[in-house]
Amino acid sequence: MEDTWIVTGGCGFIGSHLTRALVEKGYQVKVIDNLSSSSIDGIEDLIDSGDVAFFKEDVRDQDSLESIIDGREIGMYHLAADPSVRESVEKPIESFEQNVRGSMNLLEIMRQKGIKEMIFASSGGTLYGDVETFPTKETTPLRPISPYGASKAAVEMYLSAYASSYHLDIVSLRFANIYGPGSNHGVMHDFYNKLMEDPSKLTILGNGKQAKGYLYIDDCVKAILLVGTWISAPGNTGFHCFNLGTESWTTVTDLAEIMVDILDLQNVEFKYTGGERGWTGDVSKNLLDITRIKELGWHPETGIREGMSLFIHSLMEKSSPI
C-alpha cells in the first residue's frame, strides 16, 4: 500500500485523467466515486488490469471511507465535489453536504489513520468572486458569490486548520476553467452540442464579454502531479495554495468564434441572452496570477486554439457512428 494514492472523484473529467497519469507513473490507485456525474468508462481498462481499485461510494459516507482507507496510502487527491456552480444556487445545502461535509470526513480519516498528504481541487474564479485586480494573486481576499464558491472557501479554511492542528501537509489548487477530451460540461461542450443541433445559430449566455482563463487538461494534470511530488519533499509542510490557470483570458465570444472556425461553419448567428453574467453566481471576469506555481517549474503549454481543436475533435470522434 506504500505506493498507493487515493483519488476521490477519480471517474470524473479531471479525476480520470489524473488516475491514468498516476498509473503510468507506476502507482496503484484507489478511486472513490459515487458516479453521480460520471461513469467508469474513462478508467475501466485500469480497473480491469488491477492497477486501480474502484469503490462506488460517497465521500459523505464516513463508514464506507473507513472501510476503504487503511492508513498505509501515500495520500489523497481530493477531487470529489458537486461540480455545478449553477445548481449550487438552487440547492445550496446539497452543495454544502457534498463539498464541505465530504471533505471533513476525509480530513478526519487522515487525522485518525495517520495519512499526511492531500492535494485538494479548489476553484480560482468562484473562490475569489468579483475582484478588481487582474491577474489575481493567492493573497486576494476570498469573496465568493455562489454557494459553490463558498463551499470551496469553507473547505480551504478547514484544510488550513487541520494542517496546523494535526501536522498535515496539504495543497489547495485553485483551478481556472479546465477543458479537454472527456469533459461533459462547460461552455465549450455546450457550444458544440448547440452547433451540432443547429449550425446556423448559437445562443450565448450573457453578453459574451465574460473573460476567463481556460486551461487544457494535460497541462492541469502535469501541475497536479508536480504539486503531489512537491508536497512530499522535506520542508514543504503545512497548508499551501496555488493558482492554476493561464496567463491570458479568452472571452466567451472568442470561444464561440474559434469553435465556429474549427468546425468550418459559415454565417453562424450569435444570439446573446444579455447581462454581464451567464447565470446567477457566474464570475464574469477571472484571470489567475500563476507566478507561484511557475516557480515550481510548471507552465501552461497548450494554447487555446490548439486545445479547443483537440477537444472538438474528441467530441466529433465520440459522436461519430462506428
DSSP assignment string, 32-98:
E---SS--GGGGHHHHHHTSEEEE---TT-HHHHHHH--S-SSEEEE--S---HHHHHH-HHHHHII
Q: Which residue has the cell 506555481?
A: 293
Quote the cell numbers at residue 190. 455546450
**Burial class, 119, CB count within 10 angstroms (exposed 0-12 / middle 13-18 / buried 19+):** buried
Q: How far is CA 163 from CA 59, 186, 188, 228, 231, in A?
A: 20, 33, 37, 16, 12
- Assess whether 148 carries a catalytic annotation: yes
Quote the cell numbers at residue 228. 503531489
**Residue 171 CB partners (closer than 8 Å, separation 6+):** 118, 119, 120, 227, 230, 231, 239, 240, 241, 242
Distance CA 286, CA 75 (A): 31
Q: What does DSSP say about strands 177-179 and 201-204: parallel, antiparallel, or unpaired?
A: unpaired
Distance CA 15, CA 68 (A): 18
CB 188 within 8 A of CB 308: yes
Distance CA 54, CA 7 (A): 10
Quote the cell numbers at residue 182. 472527456
Active-site residue, selected from the candidate residues 77, 148, 179, 214? 148
What positions carry a catalytic annotation?
A: 148
